[in-house]
Amino acid sequence: MRHIRAVLFDMDGTLVDSDAAVERAWTIWSHEYGVDPADVLAIAHGSPAESTVDRLRPDLSAEERAAAAVRQLELQYDDLSDVVATRGAVELLSTLRLPWAVVTSADNRLAKVRLAVAGIEPPVLVTVEDITRGKPDPEGYLRAAELLGVPPQHCLVVEDAEVGLAAGRAAGAVTAGLKGLQADIQLTDLHQLAELLSADTGSTDLSAG
């Protein structure tokens, strides 16, 4: 942890508890597009809507798949009733001394409304609209590291989905996994990450350099 100079967070499920809203949207979408909801929910978490639609309905034309992805996002924009910050997120960010960013598979509109509802304002936000290839491609995390001016190998990627951890590994970053996922660091929640970072910053100034 002592060589970590920036933290790159996933949004949904990591900083923002939006799992119920995401599942509701995909369930409605699956009925509209004739897909088993269980098949959708098995692969959708953490991935861009476009890539999930491509996998589920490859029979559609490119234009139809694009429209289907737009429809899925539309279902999420106004469904904010139970969207909140995850356990420990606000406390972690209020004490974090390192540069940080959010890297999400959501589009700009959805990311901003969810983060705002959760009371989180990232200094750097990279959405699916800022890149050409979504997770598990490392482009989003590499872009965030570049914007923060920190080499990827000195970044900690915090994720709750395997597709996001794969992106972090491909970027060359140290990874931290929530929800029992295998990563360089396994976290029970963000309170634990706050304690780990606080312990290291107490003896080493991680914001230097």
10 catalytic residue (yes or no): yes
Report the run of H or E that residue 108 belongs to, with start and end.
Answer: helix 108-117
79 catalytic residue (yes or no): no
Catalytic residue among 10, 17, 107, 137: 10
- Concatenating the DSSP letter of every residue in 18-85 gives -HHHHHHHHHHHHHHTT--HHHHHHHHTTS-HHHHHHHH-TTS-HHHHHHHHHHHHHHHHT--TT-EE
- Concatenating the DSSP letter of every residue in 141-199 gives HHHHHHHHT--GGGEEEEESSHHHHHHHHHHT-EEEE-TT--SSEE-SSHHHHHHHHHH
Catalytic residue among 12, 107, 137, 160: 12
Please list the active-site residues: 10, 12
